[in-house]
Structures are given as C-alpha cells and as structure tokens.
Amino acid sequence: AQKVTQAQTEISVVEKEDVTLDCVYETRDTTYYLFWYKQPPSGELVFLIRRNSFDEQNEISGRYSWNFQKSTSSFNFTITASQVVDSAVYFCALSETEWAGTGANNLFFGTGTRLTVIP
Amino acid sequence: SAVISQKPSRDICQRGTSLTIQCQVDSQVTMMFWYRQQPGQSLTLIATANQGSEATYESGFVIDKFPISRPNLTFSTLTVSNMSPEDSSIYLCSVLAGGPSNEQFFGPGTRLTVL
C-alpha cells in the first residue's frame, strides 16, 4: 500500500532563513512518481515538481531544491532565503501508476506542511 | 500547461439539496479527476472522469452520491447529491497534461459549505 508522510504539520521561519520540508513515502512499486505542490492562502494548488523513481538526481530551481533519496524513501524540499510569499501549505504526493494516459492515475497526498515565513 | 476553470468558485447550500460543479479545461485532456479537500485536511481522490463512459470511483465514494459527467475532452461535472454538513469541503478538478512533462494540474477549487 502507498503512503506519504509529512511529519511536520507546521513550520515557522524568519524571512531569509533556509527551510527544509520533509517527505517520506512508502510504495511497493519499483516505478513511481513523486510530486510537490504549493497551496497558498488563495487555495489553488500550484505544481512545483514531478520526479520519477529512476531519477535520483537532485534538482534546483531558483531558491527551491529537492533531494530524492531512494535509500531512505525520502523526497525533501528545501527553500533557501525564504520569503513571505513562500507562506503556504506544501503537499508531497506519490503516484504509482505509469503516466501512460490509460487507466486511473491516483495521486496520494501527504497531510501537508504549513509554512509561515515571518517578515 | 493547462488552464482549468471551475464554477461556482464557492457556494453555501442547504442540507438535502444537490450542487453541480463544472470544470472546463482550455485544451483537450485525456485524464480528468475530481478531488476533495476537507477543512484542514489533505486531498483525496473521489473519481476519475472517463470520457464516454462511467466514472471510476475510489473506495468510499459512490456514483449515487457523486455523479460525474464527462461529455467531451475539455469538460466535466461533479454533482454532490443530498448534501449534509459533512460534505463541506473544497472540490478540485484536476487534469493530466500530456507530453514529456506529464504534469498534473489542479483547478482553483469550489468551496462548498453545507448548512
């Protein structure tokens, strides 16, 4: 069975600090996909990244970086030099289905981490 | 990318009534999904909306309570039937964009409050 755990329910940091959001997943599949989404106070879900299980390269996009470690089943997300606009709920999600466009594809979401950046 | 709109954006409904939520995508997509986010909770998949056939429901969700239509590749509706206060949630439409990115995009959501 699949499971996504975000143990940190709420984090507060002061602006310009770095912050890491943890995500640990469980799956029996060898092929799977991991995601991070941002949900700002306005409510919409913003796609941040998708990573497949065969690509363990870390990724950096501006102030965002992701660390994928299959050995520990973790896919952590770091924001460097945090800004007030980073305040949001961040969701980690897992999909076990090949994105072939056939059959059902289900994203299993973690419970989210609420990040508050204090100016 | 895909631009998704939902109507209504929010509604307040009386117990026992039904509400139909519309999802419109600006491009043809193969996969469309409906999710529910209960207050302060994470997202849970309700069903996959299949074009031209009945939706595929996840465990705990049934067609009589959440009938879904998908008449074409850009539009879907979700009806919340015989509502109770426990149905108060945000309902989100989601689509899978094709191509190499295979991103899954979400609509802005419909915030439903049932009194």
For residues B32 and A42, give the distance between their C-alpha atoms in angstroms, rounded to a whole number: 22
- Read off the pLDDT of residues A28-82 as tens digits, 9 standing for 90 and up: 888 888 999 999 988 889 989 888 888 888 888 899 999 999 999 999 999 999 9
Closest CB from A91, A105, A110 relative to B96? A105
| B47 sits in which H/E element | strand B43-49
Chain A stretch 51-90, residues whose beta carbon is closer than 8 A to a beta carbon of chain B: none
- The verdict on a CB contact (< 8 Å) between A44 and B109 is yes
Cβ(A6)–Cβ(A22) below 8 Å: yes
B109 exposure class (CB count in 10 Å sphere: 0-12, 13-18, 19+) = buried
Shortest CA gap B78–chain A (Å): 17
- The verdict on a CB contact (< 8 Å) between A101 and B56 is no
- The verdict on a CB contact (< 8 Å) between A45 and B42 is no
CA distances from A90 to A30, A76, A101, A119 (A): 25, 11, 26, 19
Which position has the higher pLDDT, A53 or A12?
Answer: A12
Q: Which own/partner contact pairs does A76-79 have at CB distance under 8 Å and 24+ positions apart? A: A76/A20, A76/A21, A76/A22, A76/A23, A77/A20, A77/A21, A77/A23, A77/A36, A77/A48, A78/A18, A78/A19, A78/A20, A78/A21, A79/A18, A79/A19, A79/A20, A79/A21, A79/A115
Instruction: Let me know the angle formed at the C-alpha of B12 by B22 and B16, rounded to the nearest 5 degrees.
Output: 90
Which position has the higher pLDDT, B30 or B95?
Answer: B95
Residues of A with Cβ-Cβ distance to B94 under 8 angstroms: 107
Give the mean model confidence (pLDDT) for residues A86-111.
76
- Read off the pLDDT of residues B70-111 as tens digits, 9 standing for 90 and up: 999 999 999 999 999 999 999 999 998 765 556 788 999 999
Mean pLDDT of chain A: 89
Structure tokens at B63: 């067609």
Closest residue in B to A107 (Cα–Cα) = B45
Structure tokens at A119: 């100016």
Structure tokens at B36: 């529910």
How many residues are present in chain A? 119
